[in-house]
A and B are shown apart, each in its own frame.
Chain A
Amino acid sequence: MPYPAKLNQIIELFESLPNAEKRESLISYAESAMRQAPKDGETFDLEDIRKDEECTDSVGVFLKISPSSRGCTFRVTLGPQVQTLTKAMTSILCKGLDGLTPEEVIEVPADFVPKIVGADLVRQRSQTVYYILTRMKGITKVWLNRERSARQHV
């Protein structure tokens, strides 16, 4: 299955980089993770802030869906203990999934992660690199269920 265009651009960039530059780019994305937090005055359709038992710190996922295009905008807040790879993936996903419809977000396959991160960095102890995508899909599913439910009641 083809990846969404914006995400695909990021994947192709990472695939073209040697390992050292790949790491540098991941650090750069990780350092911009804080900029993915909600901006002053932004409002959202759904907010999901929690600390799961399997995660080192709390993660907040915020979703806004454009009424006209049904395009998704994600914002994410991360606790300070979140791992660097997870921070990097937060920035990558906020950019890569921006503007997709909820249905398209749900369909994004997770197999792009090793292409970006590099297989040697995806290991047992760094499986939380998949966590942000799971949370984004989760909140999107909730939105879709609510939309479906609202339609049935009209």
Chain B
Amino acid sequence: MIDKNYAHPDALVTTQWVAEHLSDPGLRLIESNEDILLYDTGHIQGAVHIDWRADLQDETIRDYITVERFSALCERHGISNNTTVVFYGDKSNWWACYALWVFRLFGHTKVKIMDGGREKWISEGRHLTKAVPHFVHGHYTPPCEKRRDEEIRAFYEQALAQSREGRPLIDVRSPGEFRGEMTHMPEYPQEGVLRGGHIPGAASVPWKMAVAEDATFKSYEELRTIYEDEAGLKRGDDVIAYCRIGERSSHTWFVLTYLLGYKNVRNYDGSWTEWGNRVGAPIEKG
């Protein structure tokens, strides 16, 4: 547990805490990365790999897997309903937060993030292994009959309504993407979007504002200053966060939900690759 005055401090654990709980049978470590082969190069002992694309998304439709497939995925990794799942990964935990958010879509609430992610674990000289663990199949009864999309996920129409009604939208992309000066992330290839800019009325708060140099999350007070004093969010606001495909905004969703304690935050995972390609979608530049 990390004490930086967070609203839900138990949602974040340190690398040291993870090192001390590697043999805990009620805990499963999940590594989730952007670099598809990074897990294979070495991972924390006992960690399983969940691929954001192959494991969590439907192969055909742009959507997530079904409740049945999610249950099968958990069981395959020895995860039962009462297993606490600790996520970590590369890119300051983008994909770890994304995987955690998807687990929440399916109603799994015993979830944590390892603060600082893979970078911090490695920078501290901690051990990695290539041994892939195998666990006895878990027994997973879906906590809900269908995904809880309506609670923490936003779709195009909802983001559009949010924009028209002047309710908070947080654009977590880089300033250049927000202003419409570029249609790809800095340091990334173009991902096939036709228009640049942002959803009208959205505030620009790049995801990176929430992390320190060592990839750990900033303190409650620092985060409150960024999101409330500077971006104008208020307690009780119904907030939608978005980026390009929903992973950076999962990071911000985690910050707002678990670290600042906002109760109504949704991630618009269609994000700019949907909005910027959609015929007739209103766009603001600058």
Contacts and interface: CB of A to CB of B under 8 A. Distances in A.
B37 A54 contact: no
A30 B37 contact: yes
Pick the most buried of B37, B53, B187: most chain A CB atoms within 10 A of its CB.
B37
Interface stretch (A2-10, A37-45, A107-115, A122-130): A122-130
Measured as residues with beta carbon below 8 angstroms from the partner, the interface class of chain B is: 10 to 19
Nearest to A24: B40
B31 to A, nearest CB: 13
17 contacts: A23-B37, A26-B37, A26-B40, A27-B37, A27-B40, A53-B186, A55-B187, A56-B187, A83-B36, A83-B38, A84-B35, A84-B36, A84-B37, A84-B38, A121-B36, A123-B53, A125-B191
A29 B282 CA distance: 46
Contacts of A124: 191-192
A121 B34 CA distance: 11
A88 B37 contact: yes
10 tightest Cβ-Cβ pairs between the two chains A and B? A84-B37, A127-B189, A83-B35, A56-B187, A54-B189, A27-B40, A124-B191, A84-B35, A121-B36, A23-B40
A30 B41 contact: yes
Interface string B3-32: 000000000000000000000000000000
Contact of B187 (A30, A54, A121): A54
B129 interface: no
Contacts of B34: 83, 125
B227 to A, nearest CB: 27
Contacts of B82: none
A124 B36 CA distance: 12
A53 B187 contact: yes
A126 B37 CA distance: 10
